[in-house]
Amino acid sequence: MSEPASSDGRPWTLHPDRALPADPETREIARAVYGATRDLPVVSMHGHVDVGMLAADAPFPDPAQLFVVPDHYLVRMLVSQGVPHGALGVPRRDGGPVETDPREVWRTFCAHWKLFRGTPTRYWLEHVFVAELGLTVQPSAETADQLFDEISARLATDEYRPLALFERFGLEILATTDAATDTLEHHAALAARGWGERVVPTFRPDALLHVDRDGWVDDVALLAERADVATDTYDGFVAALEARRRTFVAAGARATDHGHLSADTTPLGRDEAARIYAAALRGEASTDEARAFSGHMLFEMARMSTQDGLTMQLHPGVLRNHSADVFAQRGPDVGYDIPVATEYTRSLRPLLEAFGHHPDLRFIVFTVDETIFSRELAPLAGVYPAMKLGAPWWFLDTPDGMRRFREAVTDTAGFYNTTGFVDDTRAYFSIPARHDLSRRIDAGHLARLVAEHRLTLDEAVETAVDLAYELPKAAYPAPR
């Protein structure tokens, strides 16, 4: 994957063939395929970069706050080896003591660098450290202070401000993920500076669709305020969501995003939906009623997408905040979201029967349960025109996970019922690294098909370009 700094002083470098096939004949083909995609613009349509950071365009903080504290991939690995959250500077909800010296947090990370061997986190960080920051020695207890100073010096320059990096990273367009009640003020500020077509919002209504969630009533009141539509009835609630979607479209949005536990899309009758909604406003909806309502609202989101043109993204199957104690102490997004087995064939049937052939629906489905790629998702995407398969996501966006994805789905869905890579990251610096890894893995898969005389080299190159660039653009068009 990389060449470590050696005892004779040679610098840390990245091997040009990292993540390409080991077989010499296939690797040579993969080099040619990857060469056609390596420098293509990045289309980043599914991620969680903070739009406020882009709008402010201020220098990044120290290396610890940039790379360690907010990165749940990195934090969870260190925690699994006994490093306390507090030693990594992860804040407590009660304001209790944690390590506040960024240099100490960075030292802790560097001292545990070997824990990331063989992981995608290692690949991404190496790309960032060497290709983007120009570091010449690997992290270790001995090099921690040197690296902290070198990175800090670079981050203080104008070349490493967020919008300058946007150009350096080759980003053609980046979609953020925004609550349905967001004011979109940062997007408006960017648009006023000419960035409106390159940084676009994504409509994320999850907080409003789970009626048994703490704070749901307050969020519904905020929805009414932001939409200027009364939400004291179910019909008003739906109208307010439709109004907010129109606001997002006007701000440049291309998609909606839905992170439910279940993939259920069973619609309710209007009267039953209204009854459950009214009960929820009184705090009386049962767990089963809340679950039924969230499935019903996914069906409604698909209906709305056929009308306003927003691509609908669904990524179920993650049990959030597995440790109640850690959630109480640290809050969400600190590494305790764990995949669960997910059923799709029956769950998606209501939505697909109603809208699966609708010419104005683009429905992208992701999973972290790779056992169902070939059994359920590929056959569904292989027949319903509206449905496409999202890229391997979260726990599966690894070199071997991406290889397994191509092998599992291509037989049934082909390449063109998939939508290209999504990085799904808050870690801004890792975006080019993640897309680079995906392009290398696809190059290797296509090279094998060429070596087996199942594709010509020209076909492999064309397919690689489509996967890296054309398919993501086609999957997320601007609503008409």
- Rounded CA-CA distance 266/295 in Å is 6
Question: Mean of the pLDDT values across residues 294-304?
Answer: 98
Indicate if 254 and 146 belong to the same structural domain.
no
Among 106, 138, 160, where does a domain finish?
A: 160
Residue 5 in domain? no
Indicate if 131 and 142 belong to the same structural domain.
yes
| Gyration radius from the chain CA atoms | 23
Residue-wise pLDDT for 78-134, tens only, equals: 999 999 999 999 999 999 999 999 999 999 999 999 999 999 999 999 999 999 999
- Percent of the chain surpassing pLDDT 90: 95
Residue among 364, 433, 431 nearest 399 (CA): 433
Predicted local confidence at residue 393, as pLDDT: 87
Whether 15 shows a pLDDT value over 50: the answer reads: yes
Provide the pLDDT confidence category of residue 268 given band limits of 50, 70 and 90. very high
Among 99, 130, 160, where does a domain finish?
A: 160
Provide the b/e sequence for 54-90 (b: ≥16 CB within 10 Å): bbebeebebbbebbbbbbbbbbebbbeeebebbbbbb
Among 139, 160, 181, where does a domain finish?
A: 160
Both ends of the chain: CA-CA distance in Å? 44
Provide the pLDDT confidence category of residue 342 given band limits of 50, 70 and 90. very high
Whether 8 shows a pLDDT value over 80: the answer reads: no
Whether 219 shows a pLDDT value over 70: the answer reads: yes
CATH of the domain at 149: 1.10.2020.10
Indicate if 35 and 130 belong to the same structural domain.
no
Residue-wise pLDDT for 151-200, tens only, equals: 999 999 999 999 999 999 999 999 999 999 999 999 999 999 999 999 99
Residue 9 in domain? no
Question: Both tokens of residue 63?
Answer: 């290396």
Q: How many domains does the chain have?
A: 2
Query: Strands 255-258 and 311-314: what pairing?
Result: parallel
Question: Mean of the pLDDT values across residues 432-449?
Answer: 98
Indicate if 96 and 47 belong to the same structural domain.
no
Beta-carbon count within 10 A of 114 CB = 10
For residue 116, the enclosing domain spans 59-160
Query: Strands 363-365 and 311-314: what pairing?
Result: parallel
Indicate if 368 and 442 belong to the same structural domain.
yes
Indicate if 112 and 30 belong to the same structural domain.
no
Indicate if 234 and 93 belong to the same structural domain.
no
Indicate if 456 and 317 belong to the same structural domain.
yes
Structure letter (DSSP) for residue 115: G
Residue 122 in domain? yes
- Rounded CA-CA distance 366/246 in Å is 25
Predicted local confidence at residue 333, as pLDDT: 86
CATH of the domain at 331: 3.20.20.140
Residue 368 in domain? yes
Q: Are 445 and 431 in contact (CB under 8 A)?
A: no
Residue 12 in domain? no
Q: Are 391 and 422 in contact (CB under 8 A)?
A: yes
Indicate if 200 and 278 belong to the same structural domain.
yes
Residues in Cβ contact with 43 at an 8 Å cutoff, skipping those fewer than 6 apart: 172, 173, 420, 469, 472, 473, 476
Indicate if 216 and 316 belong to the same structural domain.
yes
Residue 366 in domain? yes
Indicate if 85 and 38 belong to the same structural domain.
no
Residue 166 in domain? yes
Q: Are 57 and 163 in contact (CB under 8 A)?
A: yes
